[in-house]
Amino acid sequence: MQKDQIHTLTETELANFPLEDFFDRYEQGLRSLLATFQQETKVCVERLEDLRSNVVKVLHHIEPVSVENFSPDTLEHPDLRYIFLNVVGRLIGVSKR
């Protein structure tokens, strides 16, 4: 039964409505939706970790002395952010020439 059809049920039909089955299906739908969101979150976290690793590799290549102690886990460190922004700024400046 479609959810819009519930509004058209008579009192007798409402009294005989299989609530337990309705809520079981509703719960299954919610669990499925939650599982989908959890899987999407896992994929996004993995992509973010890969991106952070790649950023650190690029920074190691460009500024090896300055970032040798940094890892993808420390990408939020203010010094690394400063280095990253400077490197990006230089790359943009170079590409504008």
Q: Is 0.75 topped by the overall pTM?
A: no
Distances (CA, A) of 72 to 29, 30, 89: 37, 34, 21
What is the structure's pLDDT at 81?
67
With a cut of 50, which residues of the chain have pLDDT below it?
Answer: 95-97
What is the structure's pLDDT at 93?
66
Distance CA 45, CA 93 (A): 31
- 66-75 confidence digits (pLDDT tens): 555 555 555 5
Show the 3-state SS of 61-84.
HHCCCCCCCCCHHHCCCHHHHHHH
